[in-house]
Structure 1
Amino acid sequence: MFLAAGVGQVLERLGGQGGLPLRVVLWDGREFPLSDEPLATVRVKRPQALTALSHPTLLSLAEAYVNGDLDLEGDLDAAIRAAESLARDEGGPLFVRDGAAPRSHTREEDSAAIRHHYDVANGFYALWLDPRMVYSCAYFRTESDSLEQAQLNKLDHICRKLRLDADEQFLDIGCGWGALILHAAKKYGARATGITLSEQQFEWTQRRIREEGLQHRCRVLLEDYRDHQSPAPYDKIASVGMFEHVGIANLPTYFATVRRLLRERGLFMNHGITSSSSDGVAVGMGAGEFIDRYVFPQGEIPHLHRVVRDMSDQDFEVHDVECLRPHYAKTLRHWSANFERRLSQAVMASSEKTARVWRLYLAGCAHAFDQRWTSIHQILASRQVNPGRTELPLTREWIYR
């Protein structure tokens, strides 16, 4: 009797949300459309899922799905928009501000966090990334660009910004599966080094270097960025989608390390996710606790002004700042669509729970970037310890040629 009353209360509450485009199917087969044209189906597989639905937050709804208490079918974007509407109506915070003490980000903690995220399996990522395995925001020159073309655009965009030239020493901090160092060596003739903490990325990139016959121009190292040493300073350095793992309190150490490794007037391009909160506190993507707990442990994202300030404190002169937020929303929608098409293969390549986490994460992040809950910026700077002219042209036409 209590269970029946609970079901009725939940359905009455959901039905009062202004016609959510959902169909709710209970564990006993009963169906309850919440609008005339439901776009997605929420299957309540266990009675305990009613707790998440009766007082919904983005975290409680996400965990109910990840734990298998709920299933989602149909238009995943519509389901996520409905979850946002439910959470807003509940009156709780959509954004989770991290008021805890700064994380220590020891080498051991950072290494474990990287393994958690990136060492799921190379085959798992290959299911939904482009053929080069570029796992960062793409650059769409036209609306019709494919994901593969947009990622190639991005690699060129970075190399152009850095004015990368033949035989220049180039370092990619957090090189992923090696796409940028391979591209820099093949197309621009650079002598490229990549560093990563992921053993699977390291092994993949080593194999790619051998297959491309680029051993004389490329190398990849398995190490922490803080431990990297070079006999001579690099001409150019890039970091793409890595500094989110550094920790806000460690940004001075991060930029000081880049300064140590870069020659005077050398160029540095930092590409990373930034918070939309101007108070400088890390803001979750509508479900920050979920991201931290299941996807990016130890992840922290600063506001743009904090990044520029800490770069300037290390004698970097900032020359160009470009917001790529719409590009990342589009990139994530490509990834999410690929993941949806290969969902059963993703389960086989990882586990049921892992696939559920990533399915929700990719679609949820696409929504977060669409809504400007978070952003992403490329910042081009030069090491300017000594006063004098930069090596850059007077205008920025060279970036967009």
Structure 2
Amino acid sequence: MLSNFEIIVFSDELDRHPFSCQHIMEHFFATNRVLWVTPTGMRNPKLSLYDLRRALEKLGTWFSPKPVKPGRCRCEQITPPALPGNDNAIIRAINNAIVKSQLKQRLRSGAKRLVITTLPFIAEYVDAFDADLIVYYIVDDYMKFPGINHDYIDALEKKLLQRADLLIASAEALCQLKQGAARPVLIPHGVDDKHFTSCGTGPIPVELAWIKKPLIGFFGAISPWLDFELIETMASRKKDWNFVFIGPVDADVTRLRQLGNIHFVGKVNYTELPQYAHQFDVGIIPFLINDLTISVNPLKLLEYFACGLPVVSTPLPEVCKFDGDAYIAVDAESFIRCIEEALECTSEKRVRLGQIAAENSWRAVAERFSAVIEEALENR
């Protein structure tokens, strides 16, 4: 495993939501000095409640740093202040200079240094830190995201794909789409299997205690990439099933709220999530299939498995690799049929699903990540 490095990580905010880069880096915090940087985002902010809430959260990180968690004493979280209007070249140059300045004063002379980024726009200043290796960890196809400056991001990602010493991707589709000086190394997502196998402990959460079974459950962001028409059709046809959605709502779900057997619980702390998931009878991944989602490797698949939950999903390419263990459905009729089969899942199959999760732990993923980086360093 990587040790004795100074690692600069450019990624999403730590602990705001569980994501792959954080899960992997958790295994590097104890033996490396980590500077975790969350620079200004790629989206063009709008006059919306969501963006106002995010702006306030950002301000909070500037003026009230989060306490250091156990095991992270060598990790420093940095959220550089930034001027709004990153589309403007002058403002962007000022914001970039702030990031470089805040980082350079923290770097240790002579340190073995890695830069690991999940964000393509740092291509503008990635060479400023004298890194021994620059790693672009590709987890999304940002060019398919709405609300960003696509021309700007496209140019910077192409630059980073050529500049990075190592490309690592979380899905096969990303390996095909994001080739640069070399083809990305495929390292699929893992799971904190021990966390999710604690599903059976604790009382039934009060939000779920009154809802009749079977519970068809989903956790994660309730965003526009979910197939709301599919969900509405299933809930309308199967009124004796209750559909439970756990997570922040970032889409119009007015029609779904009108159905008595669809329940939105809201965001649940990651530490408590297994307690909720344990109440599900089936876990679902009802994503639309489009240019954005074909590159997605949903963390929740293995998290459901770790809970011993049978899973029904639309045909996302990374989920289809588990066909035979997960149920794959292409429309409402087949989705309902697969849920009916999943509700009859045997205890032997539930054990099998747990074993799959254990074989794909985040520690195993971190070891693979570490080995690929060490090999790249040796070959430089």
Shorter-chain TM-score category? Answer: 0.3 to 0.5
TM-score, normalised on structure 2?
A: 0.32
TM-score, normalised on structure 1?
A: 0.31
Q: Larger C-alpha radius of gyration, 1 or 2?
A: 1
